A and B are shown apart, each in its own frame.
Chain A
Amino acid sequence: MISQLFILSPRGDVIIKKEYRHDVPKTSPETFFRAVRFWKDAERAPAVFAEDGVHYLHVKANGLFLATTTRKNVSPSHVLELLHRVAKVIKDYCGVMNEDALRKNSVLAYELLDEMIDRGYAQSTSTEALKRHVFNEPSTPASSATTGAGAAAARASAAVKRASTPYGVFKGVVKAGIEYGKEAAAAKAAPTHTPGGTARRDATQRSVLATARDKARGGSRNEIFVDVVEKISVCFAASGATLTSEVDGCVQIRNFLHGSPEIKLALPEDLAIGGRDFATAVGGDYGFGSGGASGMATLLDDCNFHESADLSNFDVDRTIALTPPEGEFSLMNYRASCDFDPPFKVRVTVDETTPYKITAVITIKATYPSKCACTGMVVKFPTPQRAINANPTLEPGATPGTQHAAFSSQDKAVTWQFKKFTGGAEHTLRVNVSIPEERLPNARKELGPVSMHFTIPMFNVSRVGVRYLQIGGGSSGGGAGAGAQGKGKGPHRWVRYVTKSSSYVCRV
């Protein structure tokens, strides 16, 4: 029951604006932008606020504001979820969601909005279902059709750059085959600059419509990506004890399969969903929730599934059957707070005995297997506001060029970066902070916390894994069926794992 929907650029220009009910002033985008920009004390405006009797609900996607207005007492989760969906569909169609792409495809965007929302009511928001009703074709912002040495180089460098951003993890990095696809993994695990790397980058930025068009030309990739993404939040106490640890996982699928076949995805058989008697949800009897039973290796607190998932066999053998819609969607979201081994152990020791100086030693140890490696790790260590200077010293044996630490007097923080952090390795950093007085009374309080940003491909902390992925529901068999990744024949299956930090801190 929304009245308007508009998309604003980061500078507040209206890119798309759709009226549904005509009961809200025309100037609402300006009102909205001003409110968001000048929200009290530079705080970020909450997702829902009211201004002059008009309610504004917004989300941010890729720097753009997607906002709606209403005068009704709507369900905010409904509207916000819808906005996220709108962003996703536009991304599916245009390849990327940014100002440029939207301006180029404004007519397409309006058409999509027309089909997705009618009189402020959400209609169909699945990329798949929309295809039947949408006729405009997207025009891609980048010159993806043009091939030239320069363009390729630019793209490669873009891919490298992107690899360090949290969202770009898959774009150029590695394809993680689990044990079965060994040769494939070897071939694909090569670093970014191989043709494989660029091809995959295109895959993540391409429009779902491209599949149909390429198919017509006979040159499309018939493939499916299954990504198990886990975001972990860990908080260590100063003593090194783990205060909180939590995994937010998600089985993400990007589907470019031809002919929308049915697929079957198998999760570990010993997977247990505790806390909730899952059985009632599927229509069975109370009593499944004996999650604590012995032998249960993987314990999830809670999970939910995409609407296309058929869970009739899930209780029996933990398989999910589905006919995946095209484009990107998350098949399953799960949450686990059971004790898992944090991938990094962090300890900080502080020495305040020397006058005019505080010495902190940060030790980070990677606990994951040595065949995995974390890329682009950044550690931040804030120093007291009144610190004059801080002098970080790397460990004696550090290979030059593999890690780097520096103090920024502007942020009053030390940043410690790694190119690569191999499993099992341990690194330390000694930071000498110079302070203006002999003793700073609350120096210790103002130190830290140490926060870490990292991405570990081919690794996940909960043991949620894909046992097999079967396409076509056909006879190609279960078990290691997914290993039958035909050479050029049949669809390509990519199963990838990644662990990212969400909030990984160690208090001092």
Chain B
Amino acid sequence: MTSRSDARYFTSQKKGEVAEWRDEIHDPDRDKRKNAVKKAVIAAMTVGKDVSMLFTDVVNCGQTDSVELKKLVYLYLINYAKTQPDLAILAVNTFVKDSQDPNPLIRALAVRTMGCIRVSKIIEYLCDPLHKALLDPYVRKTAAICVAKLYDAGPEMVTEHGFVDHLRELLDDSNPMVVANSVAALAEIREKSCSPDSTVGLDSKVVHKLLAALNECTEWGQVFILDTLSSYVSQGDQGAERVIERVLPRLQHANCAVVLSAVKVIVVQLEDLRDPARVQQLVRKLAPSLVTLLSAEAEIQYVALRNINLIIQKYPDILKSEVKVFFCKYNDPIFVKQEKIETILATERNIDQVLLEFKEYSKEVDVEFVKKAVQAIGRCAISIEQAAERCISVLLELIETKVNYVVQESIVVIKHIFRRYPNQYEGIIECLCDSLDTLDEPEAKSSMIWIIGEYAERIDNAEELLEAFLDTFLEETPEVQLQLLTSTVKLFLKKPATGPQILIQNVLHQATIETDNPDLRDRAFVYWRLLSSDPESAKDVVLAMKPTIRDDLTNSPQTELLQGFLRQLSTLSSIYHKLPPLFVPHDPLRTRLLYGQSGETKNTGLDGSLTNLHENQEIVSGKKANPDPLVDLMDGTNLKEEKLGNSKNADTIQLADPVTNEFRLFYPSESTLLSADKGAGLEISGVIMRGEDNLPCYSLKLTNHTSVHIDHFQFQFNKNSFMLAPCSQLQYSKVAPNESFRCLLRLSFSGSSSEKTASPWLQVAVKSSHQCGEVFYFNDRVPLESVLLPEGRLEYEKFVQLWNCATDEYVAQCQMSELLTPEAVIRAFDSLNVFACSPASFSESDNSSVYLSAKAPGPHEEQWILVKITFTSTVGYLEISSRSFIKGYADMIYNSLRRLLLGL
């Protein structure tokens, strides 16, 4: 029964439904009223139907004593207040009244909702109730969060009213929820404020308070407190010890978030402990809790594993005896399995067990997983010398299976083993060569080619093998090509016979003439020059001793980076293994904490994956072994740009509206058009902008530097691309000597047009009564956005169609402010007659691009201007490409957008 009547809410196309609801909302019967509001809310939230026209009616309902109805009304209000800011004011009365209600629930509700409504007018009324609200527990806890909301909207109000001090007092509160929320709110304010320490310094007194509150707090509160504590730098041994002692019991909490946050606090504090024995003792206490996290839900396991991965890099002993817990269960989701493999830490003692396990994994179906397993075997071989032989025999077994991807991955791994233990295991090369034909992945191919080149003197048919690869030289990826080139040179140097000589000529020819990869060409030229000038020194260079690679876990050189990660345990940073500045937009506090003054560690932060074998090898073995320096080069530049972007951000933030923290457009500013000396005492400055009637108008400032009145101004425009013409004159305006006069000259599109190409320039002639009929001329650049027509909206399909046949194009990249999001852009441009069109189906686009269309005035049929703004994944950059049918517009719109968005 109920289900049938409910189902009606979802089919909302009935005519007059809204009117029906409106009647019901005014019904004297409370239940009926409630149901009507409920229907409206459901329609709005679940079906997405627009019921904003009921705003007044619903708001009136708010004055009721039924909490249920009130909640519904508030839910509705949050939904629509943004779009109806003027009407939202109507609700202020209800809010103010409710915030004085005897029922704390209603008071809290009012404060909470007011904070959520992001209308500046409402915020003004928030302070008073907020003051009162901070008096009652349930209301207090809601109000504490509300202070953070207020800080978002108007930080100066928070300071003015002393809310931060209020919050700090709340840390002493008897109610644990209140403490928790105050901590959270303070943390947020601290993060946002520019001078964090002055607002909420974490001194030992505050820490003491927090530690005391820890035991009493709700689980979530404990998380807030622990997260705050983790940024506390204790004063020496004693302080650290005290914090650790209080936090240790939290390891036993059932809530995984509490456990991980506690682990983080302890790990951070351990840095300050000097006694290594004590550190060991404490670290050992972490182990059981960390293992227990692996029995939680798969998602939590994933998080735990990523964190454990970091912890064991610092304290490799901690889970030594527990290696079994990282063995994969067959029903683990794939992302957990992959992490487990990464985390398994083999030691001499358990290596046999671990190898057996890895071998088992390499039989699984999932390709990625199998590859990881093979890589893990390689890692064992590299880190434990005694086990290398056993690892190799396992790898050979795997190669015998002839499963393609296993073979390929094994070869890559064996190459690494060769580099770790040169000249020890080349007996197995023969087996490798058997599977040569099956290789199709570039990495496996180049590894194999590297092996052939490196051990050319020991492989009888090395020449044949390389020749087989060279046949398809031009089709290979650059990675393989580079390796082929180097290996052939090695072969030639080791066996300078005729066969290799032909080979080398062949490969040098192909690399220098037939490819257009500059990197390959350059390397080939270097070799060529070397070989032709001095083959002996070529030998010294090409066949030089290579440093052996090291295991990356036990000798991790990146301790500073690792330390940075440990400070980020239990945050997203620990999941991505990237430091926050690389993925969290402007986080000034954290950046400073991490980098101190030097900023030295930034380079290492680019690729955070510490456990990535290849990365480290590349670093250690230098350029030579790097299969593709080009990629490396690109990475380097990206980094620079990123850094640049970050430093720029600090400036661009200032440009944002300080109150709403939202993105603001940069409108063109007035410029001097006619200087006084050119205009015989008349100075004109101004700008073309959009007037009230949505038509362009000239905002002018006329300054009279002569000694007489000037009046009877007349303006004339030359032919221009937009057919602009003044539609009135300033005949009756009068400017007194040495005075300025501001006026608006209304414009219309009734002039005549210039031809063919579009140009932003507008030539203006001005004449006034008092200047002997002399005419002055000046040029002005018309800001394109001021003259765009309101009918510029396009359907997406049409957009695509036009986009593809447009004749003029302009593409450029520029830096942007952090506040710039696709939404902000769309919102800001709508009022400028630049319209966004979104694709009907999402598969056609990704939401990082915004498509804009506009129509320029002019005589032609096709005045369409099309823009695509792409927010690149590199933080701080966007790409603007614009197209049009008339030459000039694409360029013009680009300049306009750049100025509007970036103020350039």
Q: Which residues of A are in contact with B by a Cβ distance under 8 Å?
A: 1, 15, 17, 22, 25-27, 30-31, 34, 41, 43-48, 50, 52-53, 55, 58-59, 70-78, 80-82, 84, 103-104, 106-107, 110-111, 114, 118-119, 121-125, 133, 135-136, 139, 141, 233, 235, 244, 246, 248, 275-277, 280-283, 301-307, 330, 332-333, 335, 337, 441-442, 445-446, 449, 451, 502-503, 505, 507
CB distance from A101 to the nearest CB of B (A): 11
Contact of B68 among A31, A58, A135 (CB under 8 A): A135
Spot the interface stretch: B119-127, B290-298, B773-781, B854-862.
B290-298
Q: Which residues of B contact A47 (CB under 8 A)?
A: 298-300, 302-303, 335
Cα A331 to Cα B397 with chains together (Å): 48
Spot the interface stretch: B164-172, B571-579, B612-620.
B571-579
CB distance from A436 to the nearest CB of B (A): 16
Cα A75 to Cα B325 with chains together (Å): 24
5 additional A-B residue pairs with CB within 8 Å, beyond A30-B847, A280-B249, A442-B403: A71-B585, A107-B75, A275-B288, A282-B249, A307-B253
Cα A48 to Cα B575 with chains together (Å): 8
Q: A80-B303, A135-B71 given as contacts; is B875 within 8 A of A119 (CB)?
A: no
Is B335's CB under 8 angstroms from A44's CB? yes
CB distance from B552 to the nearest CB of A (A): 23
Q: A26-B823, A43-B368, A118-B112 given as contacts; is B576 within 8 A of A50 (CB)?
A: yes
Is A123's CB under 8 angstroms from B177's CB? yes
Is B896 on the interface with A (CB-CB < 8 A)? no
Q: Which residues of A contact B71 (CB under 8 A)?
A: 111, 114, 135-136
Q: Which residues of B contact A121 (CB under 8 A)?
A: 145, 181, 184, 220, 224
Interface residues of B in 325-369 (CB under 8 A from A): 325, 327, 329-335, 360, 363, 366-368
Q: A71-B584, A124-B218 given as contacts; is B873 within 8 A of A52 (CB)?
A: yes
Cα A491 to Cα B55 with chains together (Å): 50
Q: A73-B571, A76-B572 given as contacts; is B285 within 8 A of A276 (CB)?
A: yes
Encode contact with A along B581-599: 1 for CB under 8 Å, 0 otherwise.
0011101001000000000
Spot the interface stretch: B41-49, B499-507, B628-636, B746-754.
B41-49
Q: Which residues of B are in contact with A by a Cβ distance under 8 Å?
A: 2-3, 6, 10, 38, 41-42, 45-46, 67-68, 71-72, 75, 105, 112, 115-116, 118, 138, 141-142, 145, 148-149, 177, 181, 184, 188, 218-220, 223-224, 227, 248-249, 251-257, 259-261, 285, 287-289, 291-292, 295, 297-300, 302-304, 324-325, 327, 329-335, 360, 363, 366-368, 400-403, 568, 570-576, 580, 583-585, 587, 590, 821-823, 842, 847-848, 871, 873, 875
Is B256's CB under 8 angstroms from A81's CB? yes
Is B291's CB under 8 angstroms from A107's CB? no
CB distance from A355 to the nearest CB of B (A): 20
Q: Which residues of B contact A235 (CB under 8 A)?
A: 327
Cα A121 to Cα B331 with chains together (Å): 33
Counting residue pairs across A and B whose Cβ atoms lie within 8 Å, the total is 238
Cα A303 to Cα B259 with chains together (Å): 12
Q: Which residues of A contact B331 (CB under 8 A)?
A: 502-503
Cα A80 to Cα B292 with chains together (Å): 16
Is B324's CB under 8 angstroms from A276's CB? no
CB distance from B648 to the nearest CB of A (A): 16
Q: Which residues of A contact B259 (CB under 8 A)?
A: 77, 304
CB distance from A435 to the nearest CB of B (A): 16
Is A43's CB under 8 angstroms from B571's CB? no
Q: Which residues of A contact B287 (CB under 8 A)?
A: 275
With CB as the reference atom, state the residue of chain A lying closest to B587: A73
Cα A302 to Cα B145 with chains together (Å): 36
CB distance from A151 to the nearest CB of B (A): 14
Cα A47 to Cα B142 with chains together (Å): 30
Q: A53-B583, A135-B67, A330-B254 given as contacts; is B572 within 8 A of A307 (CB)?
A: no
With CB as the reference atom, state the residue of chain B lying closest to A301: B288
Is A333's CB under 8 angstroms from B584's CB? no
Q: Which residues of A contact B45 (CB under 8 A)?
A: 17, 106, 110
Cα A502 to Cα B295 with chains together (Å): 11
Q: Which residues of B contact A81 (CB under 8 A)?
A: 255-257, 300
Name, among B118, B256, B298, B572, the residue most crowded by chain A CB atoms within 10 Å (CB to CB).
Answer: B572
Name, among B41, B335, B367, B400, the residue most crowded by chain A CB atoms within 10 Å (CB to CB).
Answer: B335
With CB as the reference atom, state the residue of chain B lying closest to A136: B68
Q: Which residues of A contact B148 (CB under 8 A)?
A: 119
Q: Which residues of B contact A141 (CB under 8 A)?
A: 3
Cα A80 to Cα B822 with chains together (Å): 28
With CB as the reference atom, state the residue of chain A lying closest to B141: A123
Is B291's CB under 8 angstroms from A74's CB? no
Cα A248 to Cα B298 with chains together (Å): 14
Q: Which residues of B contact A446 (CB under 8 A)?
A: 363
Cα A411 to Cα B385 with chains together (Å): 41
Q: Which residues of B contact A103 (CB under 8 A)?
A: 10, 46
CB distance from A93 to the nearest CB of B (A): 15
Q: Which residues of B contact A136 (CB under 8 A)?
A: 68, 71
With CB as the reference atom, state the residue of chain A lying closest to B321: A275
Is B118's CB under 8 angstroms from A22's CB? yes
Is B334's CB under 8 angstroms from A43's CB? yes
CB distance from B165 to the nearest CB of A (A): 20
Q: A44-B334, A135-B71, A281-B252 given as contacts; is B145 within 8 A of A119 (CB)?
A: yes
Cα A507 to Cα B329 with chains together (Å): 12
Cα A306 to Cα B71 with chains together (Å): 31
6 inter-chain pairs at a CB distance below 8 angstroms, sorted by A residue, are A124-B177, A303-B292, A304-B292, A306-B254, A441-B402, A442-B403
